[in-house]
Amino acid sequence: MYSFLSLLFSFAAIAGGLILFRRWRYRRLNLPPGSLGLPFIGETLQLISLYKTDNPEPFMDERMKRYGPIFMTHVFGEATVFSADPDTNRFILANEGKLFEISYPGSISNLLGKHSLLLMKGNLHKRMHSMTMSFASSTILKDHLLADADRLIQLSMDSWSNRVLLLEQAKKITFDLTTKQLMSFDPDEWTESLRKHYVLVIEGFFAIPFTLFSTTYRRAIKARTKVVEALTPVVRERRKRSEIDGERKKDMLGAMLASGDQFSDDEIVDFLLALIVGGYETTSTIMTLAIKFLTDTPLALAQLKEEHDQIRSRSKPGAPLEWADYKSMIFTQCVVNETLRMANIIGGIFRRTTTDININGYTIPKGWKVFASLRAVHLNPDHFKDARTFNPWRWQNKSETTVPGNVYAPFGGGPRLCPGYELARVVLSVFLHRIVTTFSWVPAEEDKLVFFPTTRTQKRLPLIVKRREESSHCI
């Protein structure tokens, strides 16, 4: 009993000493303004409860008013400096790998696999990032990705009738497209079963990361094993064929097998899985949100329809979209920009400092987290007039079209700039083309935007759709 009490006392003394040392150190450092909140939980509960409102940025708004665009807080177990300052955000993103580095919890790495691009660092990251960029570049988009996207989007829309849950449809389209791009698979039962496992993996990202307590996380880990079991034979077979017959398909898997890096099967599987993660939720959510904003803004929808009807009127009936058609979608790009500005699913980017850093006269200690909020900048009236209104026409103004890259950065920046940014724009434009030229729709139920833990519509956007030739009274 005595030794237990003395152990307890020693622990308390060490913990107390550490807290005092931390306070003394923080007082000497010139930390950004803000509050670290309660011990251990910090301001996490305030953050979660504030996001239950309709306001897209309540936590940032409240603190920016009090402290300015750079402030400190303590959320999800760690002291974190939040930035809604465009120059600071650019500094954080540009110095990835030097003053800052990515920092994902171990639970995410268990789900993604340690060879994923999102978790790679250093030279290997640089090489693989540029290989991925070249795989979604405009040359490849022009060469075959645009045509693949057009064909798969139409194929998926062929089955739409009466009521559709738009987010679910958008997810299926995005997944089918990604498996085509990565492994040259057309949608079939195998890809659909892969998608079902994969959806469970994604659910694990938002679960409590303990297999003992969380069924969702446990299920996600099992589903990851199933995805790996499904992809490994595909990689093995393709490797065999490329070694024996010299086969080289024009997809990501082909590029990895042909690269001089001699990747193992496990490395390739992790890498492919993470690419699906990067594009799946993001692109499908943006497709859904674009339709939500357009449905709520009939003038914009009418103008978009006119642009796409004109493209159709220039082509033969049933003709596929050409690169020149894509390049003529001027108003569409305004809609895409504005949707990404208003409701980017990636609201901001976490990094960890690798050394003490001086920003705007403040010190951010080594090992602290920083959060570069992209959305808080996008929604700031100092940078965009009537910032919280969906107004695609703003992108026709000179002031907005020349907006600096640090102010408008839906795809991030620096060494981890989203490698799928061009692909996402093309896919979204083709999707808008096919939906507005094929269908009219009305909302099947009231639905609204929610922003936490990710941006989405609450009910996955249920719509009643009608083929345009059949309908005369929908929007």
Q: Does 160 bind ligand HEM (CB under 6 A)?
A: no
For residue 425, the minimal CB distance to ligand HEM (Å) is: 8
Q: Mask: binding to ligand HEM, 424-463, rule CB under 6 A, as x and -?
A: x---------------------------------------
Q: Does 416 bind ligand HEM (CB under 6 A)?
A: yes
Q: Are 286 and 424 in contact (CB under 8 A)?
A: yes
Q: Are 33 and 67 in contact (CB under 8 A)?
A: yes
Rounded to whole angstroms, how far apart are CA atoms 392 and 334?
Answer: 5
Q: Are 315 and 325 in contact (CB under 8 A)?
A: yes
Q: Which of 64, 92, 152, 346 binds ligand HEM (CB under 6 A)?
A: 346
Q: Take residue 338 and report the two structure tokens written for it.
A: 């504005």
Q: Does 349 bind ligand HEM (CB under 6 A)?
A: yes
Rounded to whole angstroms, how far apart are CA atoms 274 and 271?
Answer: 5
Q: Are 116 and 270 in contact (CB under 8 A)?
A: yes
Helix (H) or strand (E) holding 357: strand 357-359
Q: Which of 70, 286, 343, 465 binds ligand HEM (CB under 6 A)?
A: 286
- 265 contacts: CB under 8 Å, gap ≥ 6: 232, 235, 236, 239
DSSP code of residue 41: T
For residue 421, the minimal CB distance to ligand HEM (Å) is: 6
Stretch touching ligand HEM by CB under 6 A, among 213-221, 296-304, 354-362, 406-414:
406-414
Nearer to ligand HEM, 273 or 364 (CB): 273
Nearer to ligand HEM, 136 or 173 (CB): 136
For ligand HEM, the binding residues in 314-333 under the rule CB under 6 A are: none
Q: Does 272 bind ligand HEM (CB under 6 A)?
A: no
In angstroms, the first-to-last Cα distance of the chain is 77
Q: Take residue 19 and report the two structure tokens written for it.
A: 């807290």
Q: Mask: binding to ligand HEM, 85-124, rule CB under 6 A, as x and -?
A: -----------------x--------------xx------
Q: Which of 187, 279, 392, 443 binds ligand HEM (CB under 6 A)?
A: 279
Query: In 121-236, at which residue ranges do the beta strands (DSSP E only) sit?
Result: 162-165
Please tell me the total number of residues recorded for the chain in this structure: 475
- In the chain, helix, strand, coil percent, each to 5? 55, 10, 30
Q: Does 275 bind ligand HEM (CB under 6 A)?
A: yes
Stretch touching ligand HEM by CB under 6 A, among 138-146, 222-230, 340-348, 432-440:
340-348
For ligand HEM, the binding residues in 130-149 under the rule CB under 6 A are: 136
Total residues contacting ligand HEM (rule CB under 6 A)?
25
Q: Which of 420, 438, 447, 465 binds ligand HEM (CB under 6 A)?
A: 420
Q: Does 364 bind ligand HEM (CB under 6 A)?
A: no
- 3-state secondary structure labels for all residues of 396-450: HCHHHHCCCCCCCCCCCCHHHCCCCHHHHHHHHHHHHHHHHHHEEEEECCCCCEE
The binding site for ligand HEM (CB under 6 A) comprises: 102, 117-118, 129, 136, 274-275, 278-279, 282-283, 286, 344-346, 349, 410-412, 416, 418-420, 423-424
